[in-house]
């Protein structure tokens, strides 16, 4: 392996990844990277993650979007590679972590992430935070909606609640 004054393959790859991802963010100002030639996948993934985070927590005075809206906004961008968007959805789930959902029973839950069942990316892992009457649960219950069986089915999701409409701190159930 080539080593000279702190230069090695891994460091060189990190520099190229950061350069290309930053260039992709500024294509409208700088033009296409390498004159339109393909960038390395790591740079494209980093650029996609940055775009997703820009919608969740904008660096300017733009309003932040709810996780599901941020995912939709990234997917609508014409310059996004559809395969990368599918990978992002697979990684964060169809309903991203931090989203507040309402079940047909009236219970509310916070999405913790995608189901542990790889065949059910549309069904998230959740933590129930309220009962059917809207009262906070003393002990929030974790449920993997993708692990339903014939003997045990969970209620359907009927609504996505905007974080500002939630009657609780949305981040607290995620880390308790």
DSSP string over 28-40: HHH-SGGGGPPPP
- Per-10-residue mean pLDDT of the chain, 176 residues long, equals 69 88 87 82 89 89 85 88 86 82 91 86 87 85 82 81 71 59
Q: Which of 96, 8, 80 is nearest to 48 (CA)?
A: 80
pLDDT computed for residue 150 by the predictor: 65
How are strands ordered across the β-sheet holding 136-144? Answer: 136-144, 124-130, 108-114, 100-103, 157-161
pLDDT computed for residue 171 by the predictor: 60
pLDDT computed for residue 24 by the predictor: 87
pLDDT tens-digit profile of 26-50? 888 898 888 878 788 888 899 898 9
Rounded Cα distance, 39 and 152, in Å: 47
pLDDT computed for residue 156 by the predictor: 87
Rounded Cα distance, 29 and 22, in Å: 11
pLDDT computed for residue 86 by the predictor: 87
**Model-level pTM?**
0.65
pLDDT computed for residue 39 by the predictor: 81
* Secondary structure (3-state) at 70: helix
């Amino acid at each position: 392996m080539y080593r000279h004054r702190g230069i090695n393959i891994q460091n060189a790859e990190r520099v190229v990844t950061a350069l290309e991802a930053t260039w992709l963010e500024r294509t409208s100002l700088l033009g296409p990277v390498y004159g339109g030639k393909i960038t390395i996948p790591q740079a494209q993934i980093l650029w996609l993650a940055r775009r997703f985070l820009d919608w969740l927590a904008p660096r300017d005075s733009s309003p932040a979007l709810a996780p599901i809206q941020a995912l939709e906004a990234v997917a609508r961008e014409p310059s996004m590679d559809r395969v990368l968007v599918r990978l992002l959805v697979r990684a964060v789930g169809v309903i991203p972590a931090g989203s507040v959902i309402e079940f047909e029973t009236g219970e509310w839950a916070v999405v913790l992430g995608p189901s542990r069942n790889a065949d059910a990316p549309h069904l998230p892992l959740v933590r129930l935070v309220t009962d059917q009457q809207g009262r906070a649960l003393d002990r929030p219950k974790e449920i993997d909606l993708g692990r339903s069986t014939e003997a045990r089915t969970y209620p359907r999701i009927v609504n996505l609640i905007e974080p500002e409409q939630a009657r609780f701190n949305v981040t607290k159930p995620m880390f308790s």
